A and B are shown apart, each in its own frame.
Chain A
Amino acid sequence: MKARGKTEGKDLLWFGLLGVLAVMPLIPGPLQGSFTQHVMIQILLYACMAQAWNILGGYCGQVSFGHSVFFGIGAYGAGMAVVKYGMIPWPGAIAGALIAAAVAVAISYPCFKLKGHYFAIATFAIVEICNRLFMVWYWVGGALGLDYSFSEPGWTHFVWYESKRGYFYGALLLFILVFGVVRWIEKNRLGFYLRAVREGQETAESLGVNSTKVKLMAMAVSAFMAALCGAFFAQYNYRVDPPMVMSLDMSMKFVLITILGGLGTFYGPLLGAALLIPLQEYSRALLGGMGGGVDLIIFGLLIIVVVVYQPKGIMGIIDGIASKMKRSEEGGK
């Protein structure tokens, strides 16, 4: 009974958050600014990317640095549908996500037998290989990438030019989908399997969990979601090229936002994105006059400080404060 009550409290928080997000672009005032809306869209997008990675890296404990490959496949799915075939992006996005999931399973099946750093380096290697191959794969535009031409703005073509509000609601839909799936996984059998594998693969196996199957499932779901984010990214930027979507830096963003927010927690990816993206966008806008790279200097420092002093991320700080408050409450009685 107690557990159920707790879940309802969590549900309340979740639906409250969605409600606030849904009305945000309608509030007149500073939230109407194009740049503010851009920042909000980026927060939602990167939160989704981090959450997609979190399924595998956080809940299942398999740290992959290869997610930009799946992200890129999704982006190219949408891009190819629009630019090459003159279609609407939706079938391309779905196809991209399915291909990404298939590629993820095919790549990870042999890679999962590598341990620790060997696995990490293998995922770096895959990103570098894919980046180079897409550069010379002329069917998908090579190094020049794919450039969108004008199409009718609206939900069918998933492009807007005048206002960013459409993109915001698109990002919100993606957010509901990705976070919804993770919440479902968290509560269900798969979620427990994932955490069991993370805590000890051998122990989990001895209790009858097929750890390879569980890891591959986590990988497939994670890659599928990452690819959907990629498709959104392509639509939002009106173009795709290999360094933009398939690079180590992009892969690292998946990892770092999650770590910053809190690994293996539900709200961690959102908190990480909500801290990092405004910091990055505003420091780039405000400190840009100090020369290039200032935003990344701050980013680098922040990563070091968080990893060294607060490895549990923002969620760790919040948990710390919550437990302190609880303790002082109990002490008061």
Chain B
Amino acid sequence: MGLFFQVALDGLFNGLLYAVVAAGLSLIWGVMDVINFAHGEFLMIAMYLSYWLGFIWKIDPLVSSLAGGLFVFLVGALTYKLIISHTIGKSAMSALLATFGLSMLLKNICLNRFSPNFRLLQETALGGKTFNVGGIIVPLPQLVIGIVALALLYVVYHLVKKTRLGWAIQATAMDKEAAELMGIDTEKIYLLVFGLGGACVGIAGGLLPSYLAVHPEVGGLFSLIAFVCVAMGGFGSIPGALLASLLIGLVEAFAGFYIAPVFKYVAVFGLYLVVVMVRPRGLFGW
């Protein structure tokens, strides 16, 4: 039975990580109806940044994660300015394809510069530390990321629901033209939303190199799983994305442990197909 809880805990930790990646994606999707295919690569950028800061200047990922958040905020804002803003109002697929191009570009620049090697930071404040709760091993880095993820989700949720900026974001999502007539600078809102979406993955990605190795392909799977979480959770719903992410983390862990590791993703993507067949707008969509 201990093993069962251990697997469940691992699944939940992974789910929280997916949730924070998905939250940024969900925000962008909900407000702009854009799928950012380069979202996983944003995570990769933050991981590389944190890795190199740690490797060269011995800065701990706990600190670098803030730098990661800031840096990816800028990357996100820049992506919006240079690419996404030109695709608004064109076919729904154009932003997806353009960001796919961006993901290819970023991935291969890292491949070219940093080689395909897997890189993991040694000797970090959290790395490798675990503690034991009633026979279940709790890894410290995952725990910290889980807590940070929950905090970030709360901040984003609070920001969107309770602040004036959040109301402006919601208004823009509902009806862009009406929002403009009310004096909301929608261009600025879009820029901020893209930046915020980036900052979420940036902070999470900054923490990761203490237990997850960074390599150029690391983002791809995160992107796909985050799409699935967002779509399953329902159009632009952050609590929905959180629940879907936790569910997916659990399904992934149990399928990987009790069936076979290769069936992890078969189960995850299969679950998505089943859910959208039954509820074509996701679990919490309308």
Contacts and interface: CB of A to CB of B under 8 A. Distances in A.
Partners in one complex: yes
A297 B108 CA distance: 6
B116 A292 contact: yes
Nearest to A295: B108
Interface stretch (A33-41, A68-76, A299-307, A321-329): A299-307
A301 B101 contact: yes
Contact of B35 (A117, A255, A293): A117
A292 B231 CA distance: 34
A311 B91 contact: yes
B96 to A, nearest CB: 7
User: Which secondary structure dominates where chain B touches chain A?
Assistant: helix
B80 interface: no
Contact of B265 (A129, A292, A293, A297): A129
A100 interface: no
B165 interface: no
Contact of A311 (B35, B90, B103): B90
B224 A133 contact: no
B132 interface: no
B228 A110 contact: no
Given A121-B272, A132-B263, A296 B97 contact: no
Interface stretch (B144-152, B167-175, B273-281): B273-281
Contact of B112 (A63, A292, A302, A304): A292
A88 interface: no
Contacts of A300: 101-106, 108
B94 interface: yes
A28 interface: no
Contacts of A307: 87, 94, 97-98, 101
Q: Which of A115, A126, A292, A304 has the most CB of B within 10 A?
A: A304
A252 B86 contact: no
Contacts of A309: 86
Contacts, number: 128
A114 B111 contact: no
Given A115-B280, A125-B269, A304 B105 contact: yes
**From A126, A255, A297, A302, residue with most partner B Cβ within 10 Å:** A297
A27 B106 CA distance: 41
Question: B interface, how many residues as a size bin?
Answer: 35 or more
B97 A256 contact: yes
B29 A293 contact: no
A301 B269 contact: no
Contacts of B269: 124-126, 128-129
Given A118-B280, A297-B109, A124 B224 contact: yes
B222 to A, nearest CB: 13
Interface in A123-156: 124-126, 128-129, 132-133, 135-136
A20 interface: no
Contacts of B257: none
A275 interface: no
A9 interface: no
A309 B107 CA distance: 22
A308 interface: yes
Interface in A96-126: 110, 113-118, 120-122, 124-126
Interface in A258-277: 259
Nearest to A143: B262
A275 to B, nearest CB: 15
A303 B83 CA distance: 11
A120 B105 contact: no
Contacts of B97: 255-256, 259, 303, 307
B98 A63 contact: no
A181 interface: no
A304 B97 CA distance: 8
B221 to A, nearest CB: 9
Contacts of A279: none
Interface string B181-198: 000000000000000000
A291 interface: yes
Contacts of A301: 101, 105
A259 B113 CA distance: 29
B240 to A, nearest CB: 14
B198 to A, nearest CB: 17
Contact of B104 (A114, A259, A291, A303): A303
B100 interface: yes
A120 B86 contact: no
26 contacts: A118-B281, A120-B93, A120-B96, A122-B272, A124-B227, A125-B228, A125-B270, A125-B272, A129-B265, A129-B266, A129-B273, A132-B263, A248-B220, A256-B97, A293-B216, A296-B104, A297-B104, A297-B109, A300-B105, A300-B108, A303-B98, A303-B104, A304-B83, A307-B94, A307-B98, A308-B83
Given A259-B97, A300-B105, 20 more contacts: A117-B29, A120-B35, A121-B35, A122-B276, A124-B269, A125-B228, A125-B273, A129-B265, A129-B266, A129-B269, A129-B270, A132-B263, A132-B266, A291-B112, A292-B108, A300-B106, A300-B108, A303-B101, A307-B101, A308-B87
Interface of A: 63, 110, 113-118, 120-122, 124-126, 128-129, 132-133, 135-136, 248, 252, 255-256, 259, 290-294, 296-297, 299-304, 307-309, 311
Which 7 A-B residue pairs are closest in the complex by CB-CB distance? Answer: A303-B101, A300-B105, A293-B108, A300-B104, A125-B269, A293-B111, A304-B101
